[in-house]
Every structure is written in C-alpha cells, then in structure tokens.
Copies of this chain bind each other. A is one copy, B any other.
Amino acid sequence: MVQRHRSIERLMELLGRLPGVGPKTAERFAYHLLRIGRDDAIAVADAIVEVRDAVRTCSVCFQLDASDPCTICADETRDRGIILVVEDPREIARFEEAGWRGVYHVLQGRVSQLEGIGPDDLTTESLIARCKRDVVHEVCLANNPDLEGEGTAQLVAERLRPFCANVTRLARGMPAGSAITQLSKSILADALDGRRPLQPPG
C-alpha cells in the first residue's frame, strides 16, 4: 500500500480546519499546493506569517488593524460616545462607507446554542468595561437581521442595560433600491412596524 506522506496528511488536517472546508476540499487544496510552483506555494506560507506579524487585534474594540489601539479608536475626531457593535471585523468597512462617525466594538462572533457559544464567549465583558470607563450615551447593536443575530442582540442587550441606558438596534425595513413586488412579507411587516412620520421638505 502506498501511504500518503505524513507532511501531506498534516497539511490536509490543518487546511481542514478552515471554515467550510471538509476532508475532500482539504485534500484538493493540499495537492494544489504540491502541484503549483514551489515559489507560489511558499508565497502562501509567507503571506500567512506576514499577516500575523503585521495585523493585530485592537485591545479596545477588537477590530483588526496594523496598530493597537486601531486607527479608529485613536482618531480624536470620532464620537466615542456612540458604539456600533458588529459581529465581524469585516463589517466595519461597510459601515465606514455608509458614513458612521462613532466608534465600534467587534463581538467576534454570534450567540449559537448549536455551537455552544453564549454571550460570555464573545467580547461582551470588554464592551461592558468600555461603558463603565467611558462616557457612552448609546450602544447600537448591528447584528444581522436574522434569527441568530436577533438572539445575539437580545442577550448582549440584557447584559449591557445596567451599564448603558440607551441600547439600540439597527432599523429593519425595505432595502434601498428594491421593488415592493419583489420583497418578502417579513420585510414588508418590518417596514410597516417601523413606519415613521414623513418629514415635510425642509
């Protein structure tokens, strides 16, 4: 019997820990890294080492950046009194594009009973510590508008309330640019629930 070299087995095992990667995909990745030029394969290894050397987690808000505290937490022009709470550091770029000028807090995940992740497995304690330490007049929970996101927001809000009077949640409703005929009844129900007085043109 031909045995696979143990270094291939080892690489497959490690690649199989990437999110959504099963044994077959890990095998495909490992053999791809063996088939391509040596320099191209080593470049992947170097890029992993470099990213871990260059990028760190901000000790205040847990976003990923070259500096700690991160550029946003160090920025004196940002409003530190309003914290937008996100699950994943990737979401920050989206809110920056949308014009957010407050600061952030990355939960590093979501509550999931299935996976045994409770609010205390996230960065909730650090968020509470920020509320105690700084003058925070609003914490807005920007969890995804789905079942797990709502659950996470509820549980984090429970912990936060003793330390912050004003815990908010992002609005749900019709997505900008959509057509009502194409929207689901849950989206329209949200839009009805959250209807607001029309401002007279200023």
A residues lining the B interface (CB < 8 Å): 1-2, 4-5, 7-8, 10-11, 14-15, 17-20, 25, 27-36, 38, 40-55, 57, 64-66, 71-72, 88-90, 92-93, 96-97, 108
Contacts and interface: CB of A to CB of B under 8 A. Distances in A.
Contacts of A72: 2
A27 B64 contact: no
B30 A51 contact: yes
A96 B2 contact: yes
Contact of A43 (B14, B31, B46, B71): B14
Contact of A32 (B5, B18, B53): B18
Contact of A51 (B11, B28, B89): B11
B54 A48 contact: no
A15 B14 CA distance: 14
7 contacts: A7-B54, A8-B51, A10-B51, A18-B33, A33-B52, A34-B52, A41-B48
A10 B48 CA distance: 9
B20 A25 contact: yes
Contacts of A44: 11, 14-15, 45, 48
Contacts of A1: 93, 96-97
Given A5-B55, A45-B49, 14 more contacts: A2-B65, A2-B93, A4-B93, A5-B54, A7-B47, A7-B53, A10-B47, A17-B40, A30-B51, A31-B64, A31-B88, A31-B89, A34-B51, A34-B52
Contacts of A43: 14
A172 B18 CA distance: 37
